[in-house]
């Protein structure tokens, strides 16, 4: 029985409490230091699943494609993230629909702070933290190139800050919607990269990703304005109360602070959109340059072919021998002596 209690500490979320409701009691959860033990267990699970996907799916495809080292590394990265993002999008969508966060947008800020979480919400956050923490040792296991490590470290750090911040600051509902939007755009991007590596002439999914990316950015910005600009300032409890998990809702009652946060959010989203537009312009420029190069090469090949035909028809030198128009040599034949 002692072993079972220890096993539950690793496998199941901790800090469950019974919250009284109109229909009786509801078991919910809050966070604490024991969550680190659960996260550690699921880090090992994520490493095992990562190896399974790599061994039984990505390596087999790589053997058939014969990719270069650079493309091989990017293919493995996108393959792993496609599997993760697809699973996370389906899971996150199920959570936000069953909890009613989409059908009732007011629930994103009503009754803040959201100290007590449903089981599936807490378990989702623990698994998300475990996955992005497992990505750190995977940089060594996958032998990622030194040039790629800073970019991947920056991506992992941003995800960890977002997920841990939403979890610890009791903004889990808002964090779920933002993760859903982000993962949806990332899924299409990495799926487009996989298709491109298998067929370099197929870039249609990149266009789909571009549309999804712009739409998700607009929804993200709208959500920030709705929650930060209008939702949190209307929360009844505006006093700083760390024991109850109310860390900063009182700050949003100050219009100067609220506008400053919204300005920072808008500037960040604008920088993301600028990088996206720059990437699209560069891609289109490369595409049109490639198309014009192909047309010039085709035109040059056609001109060369016509020149060869003209030479054969008009009696020029061929293989060092002068030939007439009918293909016979202009030299007179010598009569053999009898």
Confidence of residue 23 (pLDDT cuts 50, 70, 90): confident
Cα–Cα distance list, 9 to 14, 127, 155, 224 (Å): 7, 15, 30, 36
Over residues 49-69, mean pLDDT: 89
Confidence of residue 97 (pLDDT cuts 50, 70, 90): very high
Number of domains in the chain: 1
Q: Residue with structure tokens 């030198």?
A: 317
SS3 state of residue 239: coil
Q: Decide if 236 is inside a domain.
A: no
Q: Decide if 235 is inside a domain.
A: no
Tokens, residue 235: 């929360």
Single out the residue of 108, 237, 236, 115 nearest to residue 168, CA to CA.
115
pLDDT at 338 (0 to 100): 41
Domain of residue 101: give its range: 1-202
- Burial code (b: 16+ CB inside 10 Å, e: under 16) for 300-332 equals eeeeeeeeeeeeeeeeeeeeeeebeeeeeeeee
pLDDT at 109 (0 to 100): 85
pLDDT at 331 (0 to 100): 52
Q: Distance between CA atoms of 78 and 84, rounded to whole angstroms?
A: 10
Q: Which of 184-198, 208-222, 279-293 has the lowest mean pLDDT?
A: 279-293
Partners of 246 in the β-ladder: 241
Over residues 266-295, mean pLDDT: 83
Q: Decide if 284 is inside a domain.
A: no
Q: Decide if 120 is inside a domain.
A: yes
Over residues 54-62, mean pLDDT: 90
Q: Are 108 and 222 in contact (CB under 8 A)?
A: no
Q: Distance between CA atoms of 13 and 17, rounded to whole angstroms?
A: 12
Q: Decide if 216 is inside a domain.
A: no
Query: Angle 98-104-108 (CA atoms, 0-180°, nearest 5)?
Result: 95
Which stretch, 67-71, 104-108, 288-292, 331-335, has highest mean pLDDT? 104-108
Q: For residue 303, how many C-alpha atoms fall within 13 Å in the half-sphere facing its CB?
A: 6
With the C-alpha atoms ordered 199, 201, 202, 206, is the resulting torsion angle positive or negative?
A: positive
Q: Decide if 295 is inside a domain.
A: no
pTM: 0.82
Tokens, residue 169: 């600051």
Cα–Cα distance list, 21 to 43, 98, 284, 298 (Å): 35, 18, 57, 75
Partners of 322 in the β-ladder: 317
pLDDT at 337 (0 to 100): 43
What lies within 8 Å, CB to CB, of 99 at 6+ separation is 107, 118, 120, 121, 173
pLDDT at 53 (0 to 100): 93
């Amino acid at each position: 029985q002692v072993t079972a209690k220890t096993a539950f500490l690793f496998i199941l979320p901790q800090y469950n409490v019974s919250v009284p409701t109109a229909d009786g009691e509801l078991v919910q959860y809050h966070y604490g230091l024991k969550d680190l033990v659960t996260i550690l267990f699921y880090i090992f699970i994520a490493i095992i699943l990562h190896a399974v996907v790599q061994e039984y799916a990505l390596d087999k495809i790589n053997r058939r494609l014969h990719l270069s080292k650079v493309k091989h590394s990017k293919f493995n990265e996108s393959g792993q993230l496609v599997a993760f993002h697809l699973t996370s999008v389906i899971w996150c969508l199920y959570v936000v629909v069953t909890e009613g966060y989409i059908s009732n947008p007011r629930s994103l800020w009503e009754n803040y702070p959201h100290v007590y979480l449903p089981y599936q919400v807490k378990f989702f956050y623990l698994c998300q933290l475990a996955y992005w923490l497992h990505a750190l040792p995977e940089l060594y296991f996958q032998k990622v190139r030194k040039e790629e490590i800073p970019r991947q470290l920056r991506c992992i750090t941003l995800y960890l800050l977002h997920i841990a911040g939403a979890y610890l600051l009791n903004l889990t509902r808002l964090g779920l919607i933002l993760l859903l939007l982000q993962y949806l755009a990332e899924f299409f991007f990495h799926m487009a990269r996989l298709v491109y590596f298998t067929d370099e002439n197929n870039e249609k999914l990149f266009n789909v990703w571009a549309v999804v990316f712009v739409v998700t950015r607009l929804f993200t910005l709208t959500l920030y304005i709705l929650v930060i600009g209008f939702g949190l300032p209307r929360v009844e409890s505006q006093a700083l109360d760390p024991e109850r998990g109310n860390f900063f809702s009182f700050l949003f009652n100050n219009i100067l602070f609220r506008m400053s946060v919204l300005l920072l959010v808008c500037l960040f989203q604008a920088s993301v959109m600028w990088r996206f537009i720059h990437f699209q312009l560069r891609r289109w420029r490369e595409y049109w340059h490639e198309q014009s190069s192909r047309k010039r090469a085709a035109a040059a090949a056609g001109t060369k072919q016509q020149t060869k035909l003209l030479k054969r028809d008009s009696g020029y030198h061929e293989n060092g021998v002068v030939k007439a128009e009918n293909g016979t040599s202009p030299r007179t034949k010598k009569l053999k002596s009898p």
